[in-house]
Amino acid sequence: MKSDKVVSINDRAYDNLKYIRETMERAGSFTAVPGWGGVLMGVSALLTAFISSQLPSRNLWFAAWLGEAMLAFTIGAWAMIQKARAVKAPLLYGPGRKFALSLCPAMIAGAVLSVVFYANDLFHLMAGTWLLLYGVAVVTGGAFSVRVVPIMGGCFMAIGVLALFAPFSLANLFMALGFGILQIAFGVVIARRYGG
């Protein structure tokens, strides 16, 4: 004897609404955040942390991390373009544009504060400020991305706050922890869960 399962209209409506909501979320989120690019950025930051810990002056330390920032930006931009092509996600409009524009204010603030800190010999504030503002940029950009991205930004912010209250002698440790280890860990998660 064959028994047909009766599905209530409420269950069917709930399933349909859930499907529609998930589809809209995917359509409205920027999925081209580069996981493997983040891993490469993290590896270069770990190398920079090691190299800059051996440098004899704070000016050279600053120059090393400035070079790392430019390298990381290049790696991140290249990886984002590659991933956007692979997942067919637009970079210049929709969620991609919102993601990019959301990153900019905190990054610009970081650049301005870096110049001010350098001019006033405030090197002890740089690592914490960079980590904190990078975290802010990632949280705001992450509002238009997959859920793990703003979580990563919050972790950067927490490390940045700790670094702001630490002496300059620990700057490379915090930079390695944030821009190195944290970036690698979240890069792996993003790469595995969200396709590279």
Q: Flag whether 3 is in a domain.
A: no
* 92, two tokens: 């210049």
Round to the nearest angstrom and report the end-to-end CA distance of the chain.
50
pLDDT of residue 17: 64
Q: Flag whether 75 is in a domain.
A: yes
38 pLDDT above the threshold of 80? yes
Q: Flag whether 1 is in a domain.
A: no
pTM beyond cutoff 0.75: yes
Q: Flag whether 4 is in a domain.
A: no
Q: Flag whether 106 is in a domain.
A: yes
CA distances from 126 to 19, 31, 139 (A): 46, 31, 20
Q: How many domains does the chain have?
A: 1
Provide the β-strand partners of residue 145: 30
Q: Flag whether 66 is in a domain.
A: yes
Q: Flag whether 103 is in a domain.
A: yes
Q: Flag whether 115 is in a domain.
A: yes
CA distances from 108 to 15, 81, 111, 130 (A): 44, 21, 5, 11
pLDDT of residue 113: 97
pLDDT digits (tens, 9 = 90+) for 91-125: 777 767 777 788 889 999 999 999 999 999 999 99
Full domain range(s) for residue 172: 9-193
